[in-house]
Structure 1
Amino acid sequence: MHKLMGRAVCGLSLAGMVFLTATAVFAAEQGSDVPDGVVLKSLAVFPVGVAVSAGDERRSLFKKTDQQALINRQFNSLVAANIMKMRYLHPAENRFTFDDADALANYAKEHGMILHGHALVWHPDYQVPTWMKNYSGDWDAMLNNHVEQIVRHFAGRVASWDVANEVIDEKVPAAYRPSLFYQKMGKSYIEKAFIAAHAADPAADLYYNDFNTESVPSKLDFMLGMIDDFKARQIPIHGIGFQMHVDVDYPSIAQIRKSFKAVADRGLKVRISELDVAVNKHKNLTSLTPAVAMAQKARYKEIVTAYLEEVPAAQRGGITFWGVIDGETWLSGFHKRAEWPLLFKDDYTTKPAFDGVVEALTGK
Structure 2
Amino acid sequence: MLTLVASAYFPAAANADATALSLRGQAARAGILIGSGAINPDYLDEPQFARVLATQFNSLSPENELKWANSQPQQGAFDFTKLDRLVSFAKQHRMAVKGHGLISSCCNPPWLEQIQDPAQLRAAMTTHFKTLMTRYAGKMDRWDVATEIFSTFGGTGLEKNYFYRVLGPDYVAEAFRIAHAANPKAKLFLNESLVEYYPAKRQELYDLVADLVRRGVPISGVGLETHLTFSPPEPGVITDIVKSYKALGLQVAITEMDVHLTPLPNNGEYGNQAEIYGNIVNEALDAGVRDISFWGFTDKHAYTWVPGAKPLMFDEQYRPKPAFFATWTAVARH
TM-based fold match above 0.5: yes
Q: CA deviation at 1:265?
A: 2.8
Q: Please state if 1:261 is matched with 2:219.
A: no
Q: Which residue of 2 aligns with 1:361?
A: 331
Q: Which residue of 1 aligns with 2:278?
A: 301
Q: Please state if 1:79 is matched with 2:64.
A: no
Q: Radius of gyration: which is bigger?
A: 1
Q: CA deviation at 1:27?
A: 9.1
Q: CA deviation at 1:171?
A: 5.1
Q: Please state if 1:274 is matched with 2:260.
A: no
What is the alpha-carbon root mean square deviation over aligned residues? 2.5
Match of 2:112 among 119, 123, 132: 132
Q: Which residue of 2 aligns with 1:348?
A: 318
CA distance in 1, matches of 2:124, 2:184: 20
Q: CA deviation at 1:363?
A: 2.4
Distance change (3 Å), C-alpha of 1:291 and 1:160: same
Residue pair 2:220, 2:250 contacting (<8 A) in 1 also: yes
CA deviations 1:261-317 (Å, max 9, x no partner) are: 32233221111100101111xxxx366x43321111111111011111112xxxx35
Tell me the amino acid that sits aligned with residue 278 of structure 2: K
* Secondary structure, aligned partner of 2:35: strand
* Secondary structure, aligned partner of 1:178: coil
Q: Which residue of 2 aligns with 1:42?
A: 25
Match of 2:40 among 33, 39, 54: 54
Q: Which residue of 2 aligns with 1:109?
A: 91
CA deviations 1:139-160 (Å, max 9, x no partner) are: 2222222222221121111100
Distance change (3 Å), C-alpha of 1:34 and 1:356: farther
CA distance in 2, matches of 1:295, 1:42: 25
Q: Please state if 1:328 is matched with 2:301.
A: yes
* Secondary structure, aligned partner of 2:310: coil
CA deviations 1:36-95 (Å, max 9, x no partner) are: 72111111212111124334xxxx223223211111111110101111111111111221
Residue pair 1:34, 1:355 contacting (<8 A) in 2 also: no
Q: Which has the higher contact order (CA 8 A, sep 6+)?
A: 2
Taking only the aligned residue pairs, the percentage that are identical comes to 27
Q: Which residue of 2 aligns with 1:7?
A: none
Residue pair 1:248, 1:299 contacting (<8 A) in 2 also: no
Query: Which 5+ residue runs of structure 2 have no aligned equivalent?
Result: none
The equivalences for 1:147-158 within 5 A come to 147-158=129-140
Q: Which residue of 1 aligns with 2:226?
A: 244
Tell me the amino acid that sits aligned with residue 221 of structure 2: G
Runs of 4+ residues over 6 Å off in structure 1: 23-29, 32-36
Query: Which 5+ residue runs of structure 1 have no aligned equivalent?
Result: 1-22
Distance change (3 Å), C-alpha of 1:153 and 1:317: farther
Q: Which residue of 2 aligns with 1:19?
A: none
* Secondary structure, aligned partner of 1:169: coil
Moved more, 298-307 or 24-33: 24-33
TM-score (normalised: structure 2): 0.90
CA distance in 2, matches of 1:197, 1:322: 24
Q: How many residues get paired?
A: 324
Distance change (3 Å), C-alpha of 1:61 and 1:307: same
Q: Which residue of 1 aligns with 2:292?
A: 319
TM-score (normalised: structure 1): 0.83
